[in-house]
Structure 1
Amino acid sequence: MKNVLTILSLIMIVSCKKENLKTTKKKSSEDSIINKSISINRIDSIETIDDIKKEYANINNLLTLKKLDSSQFSYNCDEREGEVTLYYRDKKLAAVKDFYAEHSHFSSSTTYFVKNDRVFFIFNDETVWNFDEGGTPEKPETKDDIKEKRIYILDNKAVQCFEKNYSIRSKGNNKNPENISNQKTKCTATEFIKRYELILKNKDTKGEIQCL
């Protein structure tokens, strides 16, 4: 009888160990899947146009969902007043938005998408507004002429550039900008990169500075 009890005890111990092993393997597998799903959208290096598109989509989605930490500083230079917002993912710079307006009915917004402190994509839109036909002195009609630029960058060099032009009138009846096609243009990003480097020099600034 004693031997029987000993054998039964051993069987129970072995069974428990097998069950614990299965549970551990299952948890390990689940953790692996979770970790993979978290990191699947991350690209370690930007080497192709496809890499640029994927990483841009990832960061732009985080910007839209307001999932990134941020800091800001402003500047006032002659007739140009602007604000720079720096966005961080896991304490690493992911995007920079530089917006400024001038007294001459002009404004510009540039978003730099960044990986390892290097720009890989730039989206810029410039707006010039004027009074449009119609309306009254009390309620004038206006028209915004907008130019959008999309610049793909590899190793700090522009490799593909597109431009889109359209107008938005305050009286309505406007075309959907999404339905207007981009046109391939001559590629350059030199001035944008220079400005980005100036922003980096001031990225720890608090409050307002004069000129970038």
Structure 2
Amino acid sequence: MKKVFLISGLLLIFSCKKDIEHKVSDLGSKVKSHSLDIDNNLNSVDRIKQEYSSVSSKLLAKKLDSVGFEYECEEMSGNVVYYSEKGKLKVVKHFQADSHFSSTETYFVNDGKPYFIFQDETVWSFDGGLPDKPETKDEVKEKRYYIVDNQAIQCLEKEYTLKSNSSNNPKSENIPNKEMKNCSIVELQKSFDILMKNKGRRSDGKCL
């Protein structure tokens, strides 16, 4: 009889121990999961930069799925490309140009909303040279918008000139950013909303 009680006691202790280990394991998993959720919150410029860098690497390596279309609108032509990973939209890229102007807006997206926008505008003009070999210059303006909860928390810009006859043109990475006086994404948000309305479009055509 003593052996029966002893065996029953040991089984009870073993069962309790396993139950405690299981609960501790579950708690650890929940804590880890919660930590990952916190890490993935794009609530600061540094965190946005990390996510932007990760997605940009995949974009350059052509690891994202893409669909898009081209359009013509009066004197402006353009194209839109939507980049996704496992069915989740990651980037929307919109290029448009006319005879002397081009612009590229790249929206980095999380849960259907932009958290970073890179805008690159170029205006080109003739800059001397010969009639049969004209020289040109590009006035480039880059803008970077860091966004949290649909509000821009930091806006940076840089400007530089590229000349066709120069062998020592400035490089974007060497130009310092300046804080923008008007840190607003209202117009860009309107453009993004239009692009999202056209997300299912696959055929080329007129305007957006």
Counterpart of 2:61? 65
Identity value in percent = 47
Equivalent residue in structure 1 for 2:111, among 111, 116, 133: 116
Equivalent residue in structure 2 for 1:88, among 84, 89, 92: 84
Equivalent residue in structure 1 for 2:97, among 95, 98, 101: 101
Counterpart of 1:16? none
Counterpart of 2:161? 167
CA distance in 2, matches of 1:178, 1:140: 28
Equivalent residue in structure 2 for 1:137, among 118, 131, 142: 131
Normalising by structure 2, we get a TM-score of: 0.78
Deviant stretches of 4+, over 4 Å: none
CA distance in 1, matches of 2:88, 2:50: 18
Residue by residue, what CA displacement relative to the aligned partner does 1:175-200 show, whole Å, maximum 9, x if unpaired?
Answer: 22211100011201111111111111
Equivalent residue in structure 1 for 2:151, among 157, 160, 165: 157
The 3-state SS of whatever aligns with 2:138 is strand
Counterpart of 2:195? 199
CA distance in 2, matches of 1:201, 1:209: 15
- C-alpha distance 168-199 of structure 1, shift in aligned 2 (>3 A): same
The 3-state SS of whatever aligns with 1:199 is helix
Deviation at 1:118, TM superposition (A): 0.7
Residue by residue, what CA displacement relative to the aligned partner does 1:26-71 show, whole Å, maximum 9, x if unpaired?
Answer: xxxxxxxxxxxxxx8xx64312222211110111111111111000
Deviation at 1:211, TM superposition (A): 2.0
CA distance in 2, matches of 1:175, 1:48: 30
Residue by residue, what CA displacement relative to the aligned partner does 1:133-154 show, whole Å, maximum 9, x if unpaired?
Answer: 2x21111110000000000001
Question: What is the count of residue pairs matched by the alignment?
Answer: 171
- Whether 1:146 and 2:140 are equivalent positions in the alignment is yes
In structure 1, runs of 5+ residues without a counterpart are 1-39
More displaced stretch, 50-59 vs 143-152: 50-59
Counterpart of 2:44? 48
CA distance in 1, matches of 2:63, 2:87: 12
Deviation at 1:79, TM superposition (A): 1.2
CA distance in 1, matches of 2:191, 2:171: 31
Equivalent residue in structure 1 for 2:122, among 122, 127, 134: 127
Give me the CA root mean square deviation: 1.7
Aligned AA (1:130)? S
Deviation at 1:113, TM superposition (A): 0.3
